[in-house]
Amino acid sequence: MYQRLLGEVRFHQLLLKFDEDLAARTREGGCPRCAGTLHWARYPRKPRGGPASLREQYSQRASFCCAVAGCRRRITPASLRFLGRRVYLATVVVLASAMRCGLTPQRVSRLARELSVPRRTLERWREWWRTAFVHSPFWKAAAGRFMPPVTLAALPGSLLERFRAADRAGRVLALLRFLSPLSTIGHGR
């Protein structure tokens, strides 16, 4: 079951490693505006969900600032751990939303209790998938890559099922990679 994946330390350590690699590549690329050197910075996060043993490692997110006077542009690299400014980890948002689709009210209550996600938050995420996500420029550009079309009413579960991998962890990882552009400012709005 996907729910077990939320507590797997090795899976979350792998996501952390991928995020570190994405940050290193972003820094190596320099400032997109002026090609200046990027200075490394981290800003605090208080993510909810995931293993408690990784709370400290997950409490920061990489960010960069251009070193050139007059530019000073800030760049936040893509992430597999975070989905925009949401306080819950991307895996929690994706998997809880996928598990939420089609569940009875009793199962929704149990899911909310087990993941420590308020029922209202689950409903808000479901609404985001059905409205803001499907109308976003990101999805409009990406939707054509899926044939037959993804069932929008069953997002993100219907999207998760489109990614092929040897196991469920690989499938979730592929979906998080796909969604990683939404983890930066401006893509998910």
With respect to residue 164, please indicate whether it lies within any of the assigned structural domains. yes
Is residue 188 one of the residues assigned to a domain? no
pLDDT digits (tens, 9 = 90+) for 32-64: 999 999 999 888 999 898 888 888 889 999 999
pTM of the model: 0.89
pLDDT value, residue 188: 44
Q: Are 62 and 24 in contact (CB under 8 A)?
A: no
Q: Which residues of 100-136 are buried (b: 16+ CB within 10 A; e: fewer)?
A: bbeeeeeebeebbeebebeeebbeebbebbbeebeeb
Gap between the Cα atoms of 58 and 16, Å rounded = 8
- 57-95 per-position pLDDT tens digit: 899 999 999 999 999 999 999 999 999 888 999 999 999
> Which of 112, 109, 108, 76 lies closest to 92, judged by CA?
112
pLDDT digits (tens, 9 = 90+) for 125-160: 989 999 999 999 999 999 999 999 999 999 999 999
Is residue 22 over pLDDT 70? yes
3-state secondary structure the chain: CHHHHCCCHHHHHHHHHHHHHHHHHHHHHCCCCCCCCEEEEEEECCCECCCHHHCCHHHEEEEEEECCCCCCCEECCCCCCCCCCCCECHHHHHHHHHHHCCCCHHHHHHHHHHHCCCHHHHHHHHHHHHHHHHHCHHHHHHHHHCCCCCCHHHCCHHHHCCCCCCCHHHHHHHHHHHHHHHHCCCCCC
Its domain, for residue 126, covers 2-183
Q: For residue 189, is it within any domain?
A: no
Q: How confident is the model at residue 179 (pLDDT cuts 50, 70, 90)?
A: very high
* 59 domain residue, yes or no: yes
Q: Does any domain span residue 88?
A: yes
Say how many domains are in the chain: 1
* CB-count burial class (<10 Å; 0-12, 13-18, 19+) for 85: exposed
What local confidence, expressed as pLDDT, does residue 102 receive? 61
Give the pLDDT score at 140. 96
